[in-house]
Amino acid sequence: MILKSQVEWALHCCAILAGLPDGRYLSTKALAELHGLPKEYLSKALQSLSQAGLVHTTLGPSGGYRLAKAPAELTFLDVVEAVEGKGRTFVCQNIRANNPCRPKDYCESGSCAIARIMWEADEAWRTALRKVTFADLGKTLEQEIDPGIWAGTFDWVLKRAG
């Protein structure tokens, strides 16, 4: 059970978009170059973000993506769920219904303890991701990243932003 690499890509792209000045857009091409990723495939991840309403897009030259909300309103969970889906990681096949000791067509009284426990763990994971916004991430990155690279990347992005 491993998250798709598109999750990582989407998180990085949102981190960049979160640093973009208001009203500017950054294209798939620029984001792909910046991260060394296949442009066409990265595009699918960005489309997922778009379908989830997390980013806003414009067409034509100087078009591309920007965040649809303020970085403080966008959580890691938003991005992860946009790419990976909102489904639970534990899916119940209801194998208890195969128990030969049960009367046929016995009606279950809701979800069982095993499924509930697994789903609670799922929810703990989601809660942890919901707590972190891209404003939080921006602050941390600014402290941790080499200032030269930070500034250089910022310039690089601005030059290519429409």
Partner DNA sequence: GAATTAAGGATACATGATATCCCTATTTTG
Partner DNA sequence: CAAAATAGGGATATCATGTATCCTTAATTC
Task: Report how far residue 22's alpha carbon sits from residue 110's, in angstroms, rounded to the nearest whole number.
Answer: 49
Q: Residue type at 73?
A: E
**Where are the alpha helices (H) located in 52-99, listed in sequence order?**
76-84
Residue 111 partner contact from its own copies, ligand SF4, DNA, none using kind-dependent CB cut-offs of 5 to 8 Å: ligand SF4
Q: Is 49 helix (H, G, I), strand (E, B) or coil?
A: helix
Question: Does the footprint of ligand SF4 cover residue 151 (CB under 6 A)?
Answer: no
Contact with ligand SF4 (CB under 6 A) among 114, 145, 151, 158: 114
Q: Could you tell which of ligand SF4, its own copies, DNA, none binds residue 132, using a CB distance below 5 to 8 A set by kind?
A: its own copies
Residue 23 binding DNA, by CB under 7 A: no
Instruction: Tell me the window of 39-47, 74-82, 109-117, 123-131 that interacts with DNA (CB under 7 A).
Output: 39-47
From the list 12, 50, 122, 135, which residue makes contact with DNA (rule: CB under 7 A)?
Answer: 50
Partner in contact with 74, chosen from its own copies, ligand SF4, DNA, none, beta carbon below 5 to 8 Å by kind = none
Beta carbons within 8 Å of 88's beta carbon, 6+ residues apart: 118, 119, 122
Neighbouring residues of 81: CB distance < 8 A, sequence distance ≥ 6: 52
Residue 39 burial (CB count, 10 A): 13
Using CB under 6 A, list all residues that contact ligand SF4.
Answer: 8, 12, 92-96, 111-112, 114-115
